[in-house]
Amino acid sequence: MRKIVLFVILVLALSVCSVAADDAPKAEVFGGYSLLRANINGADYNTNGWDGAVTGNLNRYFGVTADISGQYRTVTNTGLSTTLHEHTFLFGPTASYRVKKLKPFAHVLFGVSHGVFSGTSFSTQTQNVFAMEFGGGVDIKVAKHVALRPVELDWRRSSFASSTQNNLRYLAGIVLNLGGK
């Protein structure tokens, strides 16, 4: 948690050193790849997935984000297989600082995570749990309405099977900027 907070502070501090600022679009739509370092049955595994997010900008610095993602993994050990499907629905504030071609941002998102766990040694289990995510990243403008998001790092906390998971998530993808303010 401490590393993520320091990363967000560093990104925001570096952005203050820049001079020119752009106007914010009314909405930003993100779509991309998601890699989550997840704890499954007491062991850490990488899960692959997708992420989609929409941010409605209230002004140049603040917006409200809705984020939906899916993560998937099948683990096989000694002939036993466990499959994880996790879909997360999060919502919360986003702060950003816009400079010519860069937009560093940080967000705090809260919501629900829906997990489906199945395996060869147990029946399918489904859980809906509270989830929260803290993190941020940077968007690089490549055209008037298009930006690349090469990195977003988030710390996700949830509590499946009565144990708390503290997972790290990496995202990368494309951002479409819609409308202008």
49 part of a folded domain: yes
8 part of a folded domain: no
102 part of a folded domain: no
Q: Which two tokens stand for residue 152?
A: 């977003």
144 part of a folded domain: no
Query: What range does the domain containing 54 cover?
Result: 24-95+107-132+156-181
- Give residue-wise pLDDT tens across range 60-81: 999 999 999 999 988 777 777 8
78 part of a folded domain: yes
42 part of a folded domain: yes
- CA distances 87 to 8, 56, 82, 134, 141, Å, are 25, 22, 17, 17, 29
180 part of a folded domain: yes
Residue 115's pLDDT is: 86
**For residues 158-172, average pLDDT:** 83
Q: What is the CATH number of the domain that holds 177?
A: 2.40.160.20
Does residue 131 or residue 120 have the better pLDDT? 131
Domain count, the chain: 1
CB burial string 53-89: b at 16+ within 10 A, e below: bbbebeeeeebebebebbbbbeeeeeeeebbbbbbbe
Question: Do strands 27-40 and 165-178 pair parallel, antiparallel, or not at all (unpaired)?
Answer: antiparallel
Nearest alpha-carbon partner for 147 in 155, 156, 137, 157:
137
The rounded mean pLDDT for the chain is 85
Name the least confident of 86-95, 100-109, 114-123, 150-159. 114-123
Name the least confident of 20-24, 83-87, 113-117. 20-24
37 part of a folded domain: yes
